[in-house]
Structure 1
């Protein structure tokens, strides 16, 4: 199943976003490097001796660390994250967890920082970890409302004398999803309380439009790649003096959905105008002094109102049917794209695993199809068909690999059984003609 959209809007301004990620050695990352980059600091990873210098990085509005009471040592960023790296011994250890929050642009810098501090404090109290908070400003050329915070937390409880036991509740399959949903709900509640406290009309909701019962199509999350492409494309069109038109599929789809939502709002607005006109006409009719004329006007007004209502109902039904056709078409197109991408991905995975040496294939499969629920959920999130598609792809790749390996074995056996061709053992020695026993491996038409 497709994951629900990460960004939801409760009004034209307020934006909700909360995502949870991990920093894992299996992807070549370290908690020290992540902390240095997000806070715009210079840190040295004592585990491998690498220095990570981001002191000249722009866009960082501020950073601070929150830790449990009595754990003053954890307020030193270098000590904290080097301890996180040195405590984990495995090559695929998760050394940090990251929460990415969209801060309300309706609040000022101090209020945004206080809001991020409140959420980080709740996470520290809830799990007993330390939180390294970095406040980021919108990037140049991007959405000027994109104030956000990166909260990097330890994966172990922080104690006065060091790091303690591992926090597993967010990693377990049964508890991870409900915990993240609870954190999303907490963040929405804290944002709405802050907006209300500062008398801002905007509100956010952590639920999807479908769960809210809102009859609107949500926009697709653009992501960094599509956003970068769109910015460059828009800048190029502005230099050429041409009007901006979306280039990527996601941007084009978001523009189409905005048009559909605008049509729905216009229709609702027109219906409201019609209702107001009918009400105003009825009030005017009541003011007539002559009873007969009043009754006649009342009848006429009722007939006109019924006709308008009938036409409005017909228009509503036609628009509803049209929207349903567009929605079904969008679903079909999305499904077809997902199936096409899944097939292409399956072929690519099959080629990649067949090209590897036999002893490297299983580690490749374990990396692409991890058994760990959290890592597998992250892999499934990037798969066109979600977790179901990832499982089906793994099964197909393994079946193809088994057939490929069996054919490899047969060809090796045939090479071993085949007699050596040539002139025999006479004075001439073996034939210098080209041997027919060369084997280039099984051929699947790749």
Structure 2
């Protein structure tokens, strides 16, 4: 039923629904095809005419509905096989992007008909904006997962659709300068459409496409688990339920999400305690003021006014110290999280260098192309799994390639030494001892 959706930009409260919109690409460089992607998401059986492979997902469950939306006069696109085979045939390069995918979290507060209408509205807006065709598949929550995880996969062509076939390539989402703002605009559009639908159906929940930081919410967002980690967590959870044992997260991402949720709960509790303290201080201040007035009427002196001022100062000082304590603790938690991310990034870098050195020379570039894709959207997706994001992935690639360059130079030098060793001849006392015998298969930096 598609991969589960995280909620990195959504407050988990009764008044806020789940928000998720991600944009991905289907590229031949990763061994994928638009025909296979369309068959899997729609639960259809399609044959890729380019390589003759049949993709049969007719027995797949969890697909609530699927339909195709295209510009007026382009009825030929409503045949899923014709549409996606045309998309494959239109691209000639071995690393072409043949389709683009939008993954949307549908509000669980709406019923099936309302969710389908909402997905259709967004797909229609995408078709109108870019002149492409959109293949929409609505998926239900998977068994054992979050029962709110209704979501839609919208697969679109990367070329404009015309009455007689596919036209020019749409580049606005591919360019570095326009891609980011364009995706932000789509996220804002989706949030607006969801909120209008929720309001129209008298649902109190609302979503916000902005990050916690932009919303001014002092919370740490959770990490998107992805299909692999989700599968591991479901397996372990089912096993613990069978044994009637308390379940604890197994994967790093799930454990980190648990830690972040715990930290957010702790921060909210501290804020609640601070608010309670402030209310108590205010109440005490009010009572002190009343006592001061009564004492002033009885004694007509100024000492009680000084006491009231001192109490107010002490209350303000107490609030200031409490706020400083909370902020210092939060900053400490943030620094710890940052240090852990840096440590994980360093460990990952060392592991990547080791792995690429162990590969044969022919397999190294393929490995590097997979781990550090050139396509900007694929790199953003790949960077989401890196502890330091895309910037960390870029820095890691530089180090790995530099280490590989040194390693390759040493390999070449050792190869030359091995080929030259027999030409040195033998002495009268027996064969000379070649220096190459003192070397192993190459230096090991780690």
Cα offset, 1:356, TM superposition: 3.7
Partner of 1:127 in structure 2? 130
Distance 1:432 1:55 in 2: 71
CA distance in 1, matches of 2:244, 2:362: 57
Q: How far did residue 46 of structure 1 move?
A: 1.3
What are the superposed Cα offsets for residues 160-203 of structure 1, whole Å, 9 maximum, x if unpaired?
A: 00111111110110000000000000000011111111111111
Shift of 1:293: 11
Whether the 8 Å contact between 2:281 and 2:315 is mirrored in structure 1 is no
Deviation at 1:395, TM superposition (A): 2.2
Deviations 1:220-247 (CA, angstroms, capped at 9, x unpaired): 3333333333333333333333344444
The residue number in structure 2 matching 1:42 is 45
Aligned length: 428
Structure 2 residue ranges without an equivalent (≥5): 1-5, 299-303
Post-superposition Cα deviations, 1:401-421, rounded to whole Å, max 9, x if no partner, equal 222222223223333433457
- Measured after TM superposition, the shift of residue 424 of structure 1 is 9.0
Task: For 2:321 and 2:250, locate their aligned partners in 1 and report how far apart those are by CA, in whole Å.
Answer: 33
1:56 to 35, 56, 59: 59
The alignment status of 1:98 with 2:101, answered yes or no, reads yes
Which residue is 1:288 aligned to?
Answer: none
Separation in 1 of the partners of 2:184 and 2:440?
A: 53
Normalising by the residue count of structure 2, what TM-score does the alignment of the two structures yield?
A: 0.83
Cα distance change on mapping 1:400 and 1:243 into 2, 3 Å: closer
For 1:233 and 1:307, the matched residues in 2 are separated by 56
| Gap change, CA 1:16 and 1:405, over 3 Å in 2 | same
Distance (whole Å) between structure 1 residues aligned to residue 358 and residue 316 of structure 2: 64
Post-superposition shift, 1:387?
3.0
User: TM-score, normalised to structure 1's length?
Assistant: 0.83
Cα distance, 1:135 vs. partner?
A: 0.7
What is the SS of the residue equivalent to 1:382? coil
Aligned-residue offset at 1:65: 0.6
User: Counterpart in 2 of 1:353?
Assistant: 356
Shift, 1:432, TM fit = 9.9
1:294 is displaced (CA, Å) by 13
Rounded to whole Å, the distance in 2 between the matches of 1:140 and 1:304 is 63
Distance in structure 2 (CA, Å) of the matches to 1:35 and 1:126: 21
1:314 alignment counterpart: 318
Cα distance in 1 for partners of 2:315, 2:250 equals: 39
Describe the superposition over 1:332-376 as per-residue Cα deviations: whole angstroms up to 9, x where unpaired.
333333223322332333233333444554454344334443333
Relative to structure 1, the CA distance from residue 46 to residue 21 in structure 2 (aligned partners, 3 Å threshold; closer, same or farther) is same
Distance 2:123 2:281 in 1: 49
CA contact (8 A) 1:209 1:216 kept: yes
Q: Supply the distance in 1 between the matched residues of 2:386 and 2:229 (Cα, whole angstroms).
A: 17
Give the conservation status (yes or no) of the 8 Å contact 2:425–2:431. Answer: yes
Match runs of 1:222-233 below 5 Å? 222-233=225-236
1:221 alignment partner, one of 220, 224, 227: 224
Counterpart of 1:151 (choices 133, 154, 159) is: 154
Deviation string, structure 1 residues 255-300 (Cα, Å, up to 9, x no partner): 4134224414633763697599789999xx9xxxxx979989xxx9
Q: Which residue of 256, 260, 265 corresponds with 2:262?
A: 256
SS in 2 for 1:146: coil
Please state whether the residue corresponding to 1:207 is helix, strand or coil.
Answer: coil
Select which of 322, 328, 332 maps to 1:329.
332
Tell me the alpha carbon deviations over residues 110-160 of structure 1, each in whole angstroms, 9 at most, x when there is no partner: 111111110000000000000111111111111111111111111111110
Could you say what the CA RMSD is over the residues aligned between the two structures, in angstroms?
A: 3.7
User: For 1:47-446, what aligned pairs fall within 5 Å after superposition?
Assistant: 47-248=50-251, 249-264=255-270, 266-267=272-273, 270=276, 314=318, 317-318=321-322, 320-420=323-423, 441-444=441-444
CA distance in structure 1 between the aligned counterparts of 2:222 and 2:312, rounded to whole angstroms? 34
Give me the whole-angstrom Cα distance separating, in 2, the residues matched to 1:236 and 1:195: 38
> CA 1:154–1:395 in 2, change beyond 3 Å: closer, same or farther?
same
Question: For 1:254 and 1:7, how far apart are their aligned partners in 2?
Answer: 14
Q: Per the alignment, in what secondary structure is the counterpart of residue 418 of structure 1?
A: helix
Please give the alpha-carbon distance, in whole angstroms, between the structure 2 residues aligned to 1:294 and 1:179.
Answer: 67
In structure 1, C-alpha distance between the alignment counterparts of 2:386 and 2:256, rounded to whole Å: 16
8 Å contact kept, 2:25–2:377? no
Counterpart of 1:428 in structure 2 is: none
Q: Distance in 1 between matches of 2:442 and 2:294?
A: 97
Q: Provide the rounded CA distance (Å) in 2 between the counterparts of 1:349 and 1:10.
A: 36
Unaligned runs of 5+ in 1: 286-290, 426-430
Using the alignment, how far apart are the partners of 2:41 and 2:281 within structure 1? 54
| Greater CA drift, 326-335 or 197-206 | 326-335
**CA distance in structure 2 between the aligned counterparts of 1:51 and 1:295, rounded to whole angstroms:** 95
Q: Determine the C-alpha separation between the residues in 1 that align with 2:243 and 2:310.
A: 54
Give SS of 1:183's match: helix
